[in-house]
Amino acid sequence: MTPLVRSVRSADTLTRDALAVLQPGFTGTTAPDWLLRRLGEGLVSVGLFGRNVADPAQLAALTGRLRAEREELIVAIDEEGGDVTRLEVRGGSSFPGNHALGAVDDTELTRAVARELGRRLADCGINLNWAPSADVNSNPANPVIGVRSFGADPQLVARHTAAYVEGLQSAGVAACTKHFPGHGDTAVDSHHDLPRIAAGLPTLQERELVPFRAAVAAGTRAVMSAHILLPALDAEHPATLSPAALHGLLRAPEAEGGLGFDGLIVTDGMEMQAISATYGIERGSVLALAAGADAICVGGGLADEGIVLRLRDALVRAVREGELPEQRLAEAAARVRALAGRARRTGTGEGAAPAPGIGLTAARRALRITATGPYRPLAEPVHVAAFTPLANIAVGDETPWGVAAELARLLPGTETATRTAEAAAAAGTAALVDGLLTAAVGRRLVAVVRDVHRHPWMADALHALLAARPDAAVVEMGVPQAPPQGALHLATHGAARVCAQAAAEALTGRRPSPDE
């Protein structure tokens, strides 16, 4: 391509625009000097992760320090509630995730949960949430969405996505609906590889796009693109890098079959292997901007000044060499600045009345209990056998899950044993189960699983365990796709702390007093 002549805009303006479209992360619980310096040079957004959060007071001080450097600033976080939490990364979320809310199917409850979550975010100085997930979980083998989805029915997902957007934004926090055009029908995690969805356009219109249309109608301020390949839209580029997906579908007027979205388009993390291993982060960022994205999310894995400078320089170079139209970069930067200005005028979540118990209320309502016969509530310390799958990157392995801690609060002396796929492969299913049975002698047994339908080793071990101890209770904390098993089967529809609390209450038949 012949380089275009640049004579209107100064190099400084071009550099500021390149910084403006980045949403980088950093390490630590205080703002590093390099980040504060770049805010003064044109950076408009900062992304926060679990590593940046200690407690609400620390987080509020951190965001306050950032805004002292730049008042009109987007501070974003990936706080879905449920399994994906950054505010409560080390203790587990006070809110159930989408799948639990979809199981209840009360849009007023979903709206109230999102409003309270938004209020807490706003109180900490956060004004953009990379949520909700509007993916339709149409593929039970999906390794990365699962309980992050409201469900498998497009209309259910649509009404709860809209309610979530409305609730979150009523608290002064912009919603970023994801992962456009839908990550639900995949068996591959885009953190590791490039998923491919073979569905045709009619299926996309009737399934994947239904919740995103609802989100746009509800006024979502932002939409996050997915690193997925949909040949029906673009046979070559994943959606994040596809003009057909972003400009031709998301931006196109409804009269032309598009969604008519005019807000901010944010990419999913550019260091994810679906992009970085195929295109490289610099090249991928240029292509994403050219395709219609406005903000480049990076910082989950690469979180230092070097990545910011690499991407800034790559974008400037692409404009100067004619690969990225200067007007496209300017337009993207303007959208980012507009959202930053709007977020500042919206203010904090002061207008949202506190509802501290709404998350536990929702988790209790989401619990589904199946009994094969009479079941005596647990009254003495029990043995918990936790079958633990490998956590996906979106969830992370920092956040605890399971019911052992909540049962121990109600039944002090409760013990737990954790078993993994590696342990099952090394010892064999029979030996693994024999060890659990020996440890549980003299105690009632609770088996905890997560997406047992996706893990053959887990299904085999659970079957063997129940053959020996048919009196055991089973708690499924993932998608309850497999038939209920055990003397008592509890489906929590997620592994948030409040889901565990609701399960422990059901197992024991008691709720702790406020001072317990």
Which are the catalytic amino acids? 191, 268
Return the number of other C-beta atoms located less than 10 Å from residue 389's C-beta: 17
Q: Which helix (H) or strand (E) holds 215?
A: helix 209-217
From the DSSP assignment, how many helices (H) and strands (E) are in the chain?
A: 19, 14
What whole-number distance in Å separates Cα of residue 113 and Cα of residue 165?
11
Return the number of other C-beta atoms located less than 10 Å from residue 350's C-beta: 11
What whole-number distance in Å separates Cα of residue 287 and Cα of residue 285?
5
Question: Phi and psi at residue 363, in whole multiples of 5°?
Answer: -65, -40
Which residues touch 496 (CB under 8 Å, ≥6 apart)? Answer: 81, 82, 83, 85, 92, 93, 94, 95, 96, 97, 100, 359, 363
What whole-number distance in Å separates Cα of residue 110 and Cα of residue 96?
10
Question: Phi and psi at residue 40, in whole multiples of 5°?
Answer: -70, -20
Question: Phi and psi at residue 296, in whole multiples of 5°?
Answer: -100, 110
**How would you class 275 by CB atoms within 10 Å of its CB: exposed for 0-12, middle for 13-18, buried for 19 or more?**
buried
Q: Which helix (H) or strand (E) holds 422?
A: helix 421-427
**How would you class 98 by CB atoms within 10 Å of its CB: exposed for 0-12, middle for 13-18, buried for 19 or more?**
buried
Angle in degrees, CA 14, 16, 21, rounded to 5: 100
Beta-strand runs (E) in 72-114: 74-77
Question: Phi and psi at residue 239, in whole multiples of 5°?
Answer: -55, -40
What whole-number distance in Å separates Cα of residue 175 and Cα of residue 88?
19
What whole-number distance in Å separates Cα of residue 131 and Cα of residue 499?
20
SS3 96: coil
